[in-house]
């Protein structure tokens, strides 16, 4: 690592999401979790991409401010915005809203903007990216929607389906450069950012 002390920087995941924690765990690197406290309301006239990128950076900065240690830290922020019919769609929260989302989306495409930020707390450097995933939903019946929702209760997922679980049965196609982006943390982009920041996941070349 190109750190003066030869001590690797601390990694911090700025997220309350168990899905993002599981994803980052796949890289087998040690990390801490700090839950950021920010207003996630989209700004008036803001594009979905701009919302996702802005919030990913805000989350990383907010978590960095709460990190008490003086050691160098790289803070990972991520945010996802789903769009359908030209408007943003959020987490359903309830069974009824999840039914309505899936009924509206069946046979059609949904676009997910999965934004990522890596904030170097010691230098102030910010790396950010927006990874776009397009998902086409099958023409599932009301009964199939009901069966799925009762089985997986994905009420905390934008679009009401967990592609990493049974929700894959609802989908007809997924188009993305990074299969982990849809779940919530684009690991391909993150690996590149970490290497650029002096933290190669697989060690020095």
Phi, psi of 71 (to 5 degrees): -65, 155
79: annotated active-site residue: yes
Choosing from 37, 39, 70, 79, the catalytic residue is: 79
Please state, in angstroms and rounded to a whole number, the distance separating the CA atoms of residues 117 and 58. 9
CB 26 within 8 A of CB 91: no
| Nearest CA among 118, 145, 150 for reference residue 24 | 118
CB 85 within 8 A of CB 106: no
Q: How many CB atoms lie within 10 A of CB 139?
A: 9
Q: How far is CA 122 from the centre of its chain?
A: 24
**How much is the CA Rg of the chain, to the nearest whole Å?**
18
Residues annotated as part of the active site: 79
């Amino acid at each position: 690592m190109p750190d003066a002390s030869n001590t690797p920087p601390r990694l911090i995941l700025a997220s309350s999401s168990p899905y993002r924690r599981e994803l980052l765990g796949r890289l087998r690197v040690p990390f801490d979790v700090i839950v950021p406290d920010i207003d996630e309301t989209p700004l008036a006239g803001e594009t979905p991409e701009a919302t996702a990128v802005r919030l990913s950076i805000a989350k990383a900065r907010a978590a960095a401010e709460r990190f008490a240690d003086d050691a160098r830290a790289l803070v990972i922020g991520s945010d996802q915005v789903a769009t359908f019919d030209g408007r943003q769609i959020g987490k359903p929260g309830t069974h009824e809203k999840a039914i309505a989302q899936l009924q509206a989306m069946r046979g059609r495409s949904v676009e997910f903007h999965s934004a990522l930020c890596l904030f170097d707390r010691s230098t102030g450097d910010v790396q950010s990216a927006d990874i776009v995933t397009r998902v086409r939903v099958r023409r599932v019946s009301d009964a199939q929607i009901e069966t799925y929702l009762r089985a997986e209760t994905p009420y905390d997922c934008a679009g009401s389906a967990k592609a990493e679980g049974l929700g894959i049965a609802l989908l007809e196609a997924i188009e993305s450069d990074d299969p982990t982006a849809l779940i919530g943390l684009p690991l391909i982009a993150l690996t590149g950012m970490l290497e650029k920041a002096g933290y190669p996941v697989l060690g020095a070349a």
